[in-house]
């Protein structure tokens, strides 16, 4: 038995030059499968398997635009040497009838000094408690260099066969650090007013758009709110969304949370501090998480569709497609989201739990995911790659 033909979720969608077979997109969830910053057979198989399971597009995450934008040694960073591996991944996804996107970003002030061999860069000088390091405030020359890195990375991504790029301007990554007043204390043309805080992220999106041409899909992941006092709020994010639209974004993916301050705000549910501490290879980080993780990693109660009201405000503020992400795990959720105007839905944990989730929904074998939102998959990504470890 197949899903009734009037299910809006299983209708095609056009984003620029790309047509997707349905509205299911695998979100950019860090895989932890790239030792040495290289593409591995396990990473390729992970995305091939999700594509086989029915999504219309899978998002490779996280790929830094430069060497100094990484938090872990097993994160990808874009360079010509990894193009053959990336091409193998996109070819594998395409053989399953799906499209492939790549999430491009930079960690900014929470990049690991141990990994990058230097002091991290940030919007303003700031202490990162997760690293116990203080970043350097970026100069205008640094900003120009990183803008160029985003453009170069996007061009290499297209060369590798990706059908879309997703610029990461949320979750407290570098572009998000410029948008947020919590991390941006600058007094030049890149700080202060919201217009100034938008300047660098908007320059990146506009530069990528010019380089890739008018029709190549450029998605932007952005924050609705950071989740802490002094951070970005929804009233500002509506204006940020309009700025990204004007800069040439094809579609927006409004999310939330700040990796270095409110790390589970974007997920909600379980707080696997013990498992995360055990997974750390560094004794220093293992002890730090075990002792202070309960304070640094806050608990947020999971609720279905927990970002819906805020996401609606961005959806209604722009004329380009807007995705929904955040607590959607049933067929009822997915159909209702598309029916009310969200162009597509990004999913993470449901697909980590069951790569065939979308296919099984379409066949009416199931009506919802049995993921219990324990978040232990986060700890698994630091051991042998992201995977569901729930026995239920």
Catalytically annotated residues:
173
What value, to the nearest 5°, has the Cα angle with vertex 166 and ends 206 and 198? Answer: 45
CA gap 206, 64 in Å, rounded: 18
CA gap 107, 206 in Å, rounded: 20
Instruction: Kindly give the pairing relationship between strand 121-122 and strand 218-225.
Output: unpaired
Q: From its phi and psi, is residue 287 left (phi > 0), alpha (psi between -120 and 50) or beta?
A: alpha
Q: Which two tokens stand for residue 276?
A: 């995360």
Instruction: Kindly give the pairing relationship between strand 133-134 and strand 57-64.
Output: unpaired
CA gap 327, 140 in Å, rounded: 39
Instruction: Kindly give the pairing relationship between strand 127-128 and strand 133-134.
Output: antiparallel
CA gap 254, 8 in Å, rounded: 21
């Amino acid at each position: 038995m197949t899903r009734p033909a009037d299910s809006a979720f299983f209708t095609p969608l056009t984003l620029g030059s790309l047509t997707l077979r349905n509205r299911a997109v695998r979100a950019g969830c860090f895989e932890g499968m790239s030792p040495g910053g290289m593409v591995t057979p396990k990473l390729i198989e992970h995305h091939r398997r999700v594509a086989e399971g029915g999504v219309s597009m899978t998002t490779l995450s996280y790929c830094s635009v430069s060497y100094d934008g990484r938090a872990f040694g097993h994160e990808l960073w874009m360079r010509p040497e990894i193009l053959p591996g990336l091409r193998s991944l996109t070819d594998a996804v395409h053989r399953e009838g799906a499209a492939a996107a790549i999430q491009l970003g930079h960690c900014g002030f929470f990049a690991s000094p141990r990994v990058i061999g230097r002091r991290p860069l940030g919007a303003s000088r700031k202490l990162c408690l997760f690293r116990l390091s203080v970043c350097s405030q970026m100069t205008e020359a640094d900003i120009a260099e990183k803008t160029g890195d985003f453009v170069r990375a996007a061009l290499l991504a297209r060369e590798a066969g990706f059908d879309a790029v997703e610029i990461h301007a949320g979750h407290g990554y570098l572009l998000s650090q410029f948008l947020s007043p919590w991390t941006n204390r600058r007094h030049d043309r890149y700080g202060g007013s919201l217009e100034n805080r938008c300047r660098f992220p908007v320059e990146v999106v506009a530069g990528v758009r010019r380089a890739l041409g008018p029709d190549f899909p450029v998605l932007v992941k952005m924050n609705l709110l950071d989740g802490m006092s002094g951070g970005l709020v929804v009233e500002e994010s509506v204006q940020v969304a309009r700025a990204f639209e004007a800069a040439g974004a094809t579609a927006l993916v409004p999310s939330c949370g700040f990796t270095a301050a409110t790390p589970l705000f974007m997920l909600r549910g379980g707080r696997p501090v013990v498992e995360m501490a055990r997974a750390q290879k560094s004794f220093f980080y293992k002890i730090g998480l075990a002792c202070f993780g309960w304070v640094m990693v806050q608990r947020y109660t999971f609720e279905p569709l927990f970002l819906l009201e805020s996401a609606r405000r961005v959806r209604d503020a722009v004329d380009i497609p807007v995705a929904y992400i955040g607590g959607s795990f049933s067929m009822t959720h997915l159909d209702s989201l598309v029916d009310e105007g969200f162009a597509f839905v990004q999913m993470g944990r449901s697909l980590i739990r069951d790569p065939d989730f979308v296919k099984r929904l379409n066949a009416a074998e199931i009506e919802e995911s049995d993921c219990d939102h324990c978040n232990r998959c986060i700890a698994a990504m630091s051991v042998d790659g992201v995977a569901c470890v729930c026995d239920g």
